Chain A
Amino acid sequence: MSEHTKDEHAPQGEQIPQSEPAPSGGPTQQGPTRELDRREFVRLIAGLGISAAAAGWVWSAFLAHNDPAEEVNGHGEGPYWVMVIDLEACIGCERCVYACQATNDTDSEHRWNILLTDEETFGQPVFITRPCMHCEHAPCVEVCPVAATYHREDGLVMMDYQRCIGCRYCMVACPYGVRVFNWDDREDETDNEMVPTWGTPEINRRPRGVAEKCTFCSQRIDLAYETGLRPGYDRAVTPACVNICPTEARRFGDLNDPESPVSRAMKGRQAVVLRENLGTHPRVYYLLPEAEEGEEA
């Protein structure tokens, strides 16, 4: 042990009293039980203070995500965008899947919006189409190491493709499996078989090596903010999957507006969210089929 170690051993010696008597040689003496001189004491306190401030800052930033009472964009101020999917009306035609693939120019193997079929729960096939849930407490947003996925001001969960490093922790964290990855280079190819039958691409293909997911067609919602059109009412600013649905099983709009298509669709129906127990507060509500289970109409 050399003399340079004295700074670190001094505080230890102070905290853990040792049985040996302190050497009587004065403040420059070395040894485990030596007293601190003033300069060392000031340095120690300053070091502790700086560490505590840094730790406090990190801790408060950490907790900012965790307050259960604090919603990212609560019901009340501004629009509360939700999607409502009526499981009774859905016939499993997959048109929303195709329209999404065309509009957002996704790969057919890595779609943003997919169809899942439940054959058992209700005695007859129930078709569940699954976009991104745009959770208020989104696990993907919480885990992204570079904050490349984030809540924008209106609460939608967005991706910054220029920042994403492609670590795929968001894909591990997403409880709904909505996230897909750009395993391949697609930027220069024109191979989207859903174009032009089911729509035209409205956004650029994403670069190789980044994660992506459904955006609720955020480019259209942005257009709504610019033009004053209302998503859910005006087709130009409503997500492509909602527009194309032949049975009106999918609706989109502002839940804070009691007259919006989503508010009206939910009236009198039993709505569920997927994996509610996780506390993610999804913005996609599923309306349960009424007939078989005898729920109130």
Chain B
Amino acid sequence: MATKPIEKDTNVFVTGNEVVAWAALAADAQIMYGYPITPQNEIMHYWTRLAPQHDRRFLQTEDELSAGFTTCGGVMTGTRAFTATAGPGTILMQEPITMAEMMRIPLVVVVQQRGGPSTATVIYSQQEVNLCCYGGNGEGFRVVYSTSGHQDLYDYTIKAFNTAWKYRVPTIVLGDGYQAKMREAVTMYDPASRGIEMEPTTPFVGAEGCPGVDRDPRFYRNTYNTEEELLDVVNDLKAHYDSFKDEVIEYEESDIDDAEIVVVGHGVVSRACKEAVKALRKDGFKVGYFRPITLRPFPEKQLAAAVEGKKCVLAVESALGQMKRLMTDGLYGMTVPIEEYFKPGKGVSAQELVEKVKSMMD
């Protein structure tokens, strides 16, 4: 057993990618599989620097398809494993993610969104929401945590392993290039010190005994012969997903009660939303703030409750409505209008949101 990489709370000045590598270490991840793509590269860089010191491993694969599938393979041997990618890599990663959905493999993927479509920029966007939530062929049986900064990256990377292993569901930590590269102070801690117990990992394959004699055989399949068979399988997957959905849904809200306008943003953009709402409140504007933390499953009921009877909702994102689509699905039937503030591939500042909300109040 390797020594604990973080014994006591430590305040450090780090980039988001480093935070992920440290969090994975603290979460007792044993191996990372990966293929380089900016802006997630330093997750690999730091993991490969830290791994030898803590008796962990790394495998660089030939592409993201392979990175995803080898991670699934590692997981099936009972190893807490993860991978990280971005942009076009997230597209290739869909095939292993859907296999993980079908076979219920606790695959953990960290995505640092870059600009799209295609190679676009290495820098930043929130354009991988569609991909991360529903990008596969299938129904999107996965959990997606959208982080807003370094402490989130630390907390949710650790949490992602537990969600994945507890519910046996592929889990994505959705960051972005800004979070990946920006520098912030963060408190790194041993999960046990926060009462977080890491879910035990058990092998899916190679179990003791003779299958059918000493124990039930285990079937992990992603291929079926008939429509009827598949219908049952997918319905079972849905029933399983619905059974834990409410336990994993997370969101954050403030200043909702008397608000006339509710500003909704996720990820790093939510920081600008939060700051803007704070500034507007100081000036006496009745504005509220809502941030979905899980984008899948989406906090539909919670958002509906927050915007019920409001004058307007402002959807803010660095994409052309990928989060808004999740919102409208959840708010279907409600008459509250949704105003858009979309900047695909570009950051959003609190100041511009203050101005936007003020213009809506006129």
Do A and B share a complex? no
Q: Which positions in A face B, CB cutoff 8 Å?
A: none
B interface residues (Cβ-Cβ under 8 A, vs A)? none
